[in-house]
Chain A
Amino acid sequence: MNGAHDLGGMDGLGPIDYEVDEPVFHAEWERRVFALTVAMGFYGAWNIDMSRHARERTPAAEYLSSSYYEIWLSGLERLLDEDGLLTRAEIDARVTALRTEES
């Protein structure tokens, strides 16, 4: 697909945002998304090509405005939903429940 992920040769995306002494993860949620994605990869319901394709189906405008772990999260949710392992509605419901708990 000719998606936003196919970036080679595109202009107008700004300067390279280099960070000196960059940490491996910038926040706890990134650690979680990384580990969940890799663990679910080993689970074996999909292969790495399916997983890349799920990420590149992140809507183009969203893809370009997301950090890479947000794209991983988007891809993981899509795969779980399409495989029927965990629907977006279930996640939405849990988010609502957690929010109520926290407030």
Chain B
Amino acid sequence: MSKHRHTEPPSDLVLRVKALESLLLEKGLVDAAALDILIDTYENKVGPRNGAKVVARAWADPAYKTRLLADATTAIAEFGFVGRQGEDMLVVENTPGIHNLTVCTLCSCYPWPVLGLPPVWYKAAPYRSRAVHDPRGVLREFGLELPEDVEIRVWDSTAELRYLVLPERPTGTESFSEDELASLVTRDAMIGVAKATAPDGTAGANT
């Protein structure tokens, strides 16, 4: 892992943000308690465990999967996962012959209600530049080598539709409960840079 430049910000930046916040508070443009709720919501309450529940239900319940693929926004709302940056959702399904990968080449669009806030690499230039041009190379960097006969579909979220990948259900999970299934669903699998985790805990790259 390389050094993350933002972990030790220059003190100028910290000071600038402090200055900005104090001025916005004084002008009454922001409310301190509202800021705390915004941070707490996305740091502690909303995250990829939401999306994992959606995927697990789709694996366990064929009728739900049908609804999810036909109208993802409504089907996801059955869990109460709604709102900002998930107003209009689409779920794309991986199959033995098709692998889906999501990216936002122009900014950092990401389905917040089901995945939370995006990881740094998703918003950074290397992934955004190469996911559309060299998806196989990008997936290899994530340790996922896909056979030539698998079609890769890259979804560039240029508009207000937000994408969630429905990974393939790992084999050997026939007896799993929905909760157990959800534990196999990683953030990366729902972005499309990984497969769901196999029951033995391996990355499931060859399922």
Contact = CB atoms under 8 A, between A and B. Distances in A.
Interface of A: 5-11, 13-20, 22, 24-36, 38-40, 43, 52, 55-56, 64, 67-70, 73, 76-77, 80, 85-86, 90-91, 94-95, 97-99, 102
A99 B31 CA distance: 24
Contacts of B4: 17, 19, 26
A72 B35 CA distance: 16
A100 B116 CA distance: 38
A8 B156 contact: yes
B34 to A, nearest CB: 6
Interface secondary structure of B, over-half rule: helix
Contact of A19 (B13, B24, B120, B141): B120
Contact of A16 (B5, B17, B30, B127): B127
A22 B128 contact: no
Interface residues of B, number: 56
A73 B16 contact: yes
A10 B125 CA distance: 9
B19 A94 contact: yes
A69 B108 CA distance: 11
Given A6-B106, A35-B39, A91-B16, 11 more contacts: A7-B105, A7-B128, A9-B133, A28-B14, A29-B17, A34-B117, A68-B108, A86-B23, A91-B23, A94-B23, A97-B19
A96 to B, nearest CB: 9
A19 B17 CA distance: 25
A24 B43 contact: yes
A32 B31 contact: no
A22 B30 CA distance: 28
20 contacts: A8-B106, A8-B156, A9-B132, A17-B120, A17-B121, A26-B7, A30-B6, A32-B35, A35-B30, A38-B38, A39-B34, A43-B29, A68-B108, A85-B27, A85-B29, A86-B20, A91-B20, A95-B16, A95-B19, A98-B19
Contacts of A6: 105-106
